[in-house]
């Protein structure tokens, strides 16, 4: 039972490059989330998915796209990376009630 897994753990991109962050959970959770964490700020929601086939914007969606491939997998894509997207990205999943969230190990992304 791996919980929530994310790949890669570290990534360096040049401005304008694209990449996809992968997330998978094996807890049969309906809800999945992508957050970014920046120094001096709380975790901020980028996108979330309440169920397979649905996605919704969070607080900071600009510059990102997501895909809920199936119940287990939720990917985050940066189409054209910018230095402002340098951050640590966390994927999480939750049960339906009371929505207690379980986090992946994070991806540290640097855009130069």
Partner 1 sequence: KNEVEQSPQNLTAQEGEFITINCSYSVGISALHWLQQHPGGGIVSLFMLSSGKKKHGRLIATINIQEKHSSLHITASHPRDSAVYICAGMNSGGYQKVTFGIGTKLQVIP
Nearer of residues 57 and 79 to partner 1, judged by Cβ: 57
Q: Residue numbers of the site for partner 1 (CB under 8 A)? A: 31, 33, 40-45, 48, 50, 58, 88, 90, 94, 98-103, 105-106, 108
Least distance from partner 1 to the Cβ atom of residue 58, Å: 7
User: CA–CA separation, 17 vs 30, rounded Å?
Assistant: 31
The strand pairing partners of 74, in sequence order, are: 68
Q: How far is the CB of 97 from partner 1 (least distance, A)?
A: 9
Q: Assign residue 102 a region: left if phi > 0, alpha if psi is -120 to 50, beta otherwise?
A: beta
């Amino acid at each position: 039972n791996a919980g929530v897994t994310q790949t890669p753990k570290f990534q360096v991109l040049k401005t304008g490059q694209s990449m996809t962050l992968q997330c998978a959970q094996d807890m049969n959770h309906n809800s999945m989330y992508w957050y970014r964490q920046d120094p001096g700020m709380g975790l901020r929601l980028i996108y979330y998915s309440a169920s397979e086939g649905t996605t919704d914007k969070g607080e900071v969606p600009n510059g990102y796209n997501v895909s809920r491939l199936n119940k287990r997998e939720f990917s985050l894509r940066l189409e054209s990376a910018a230095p402002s997207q340098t951050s640590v990205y966390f994927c999480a999943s939750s049960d339906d009630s009371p929505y207690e969230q379980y986090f992946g190990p994070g991806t540290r992304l640097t855009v130069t």
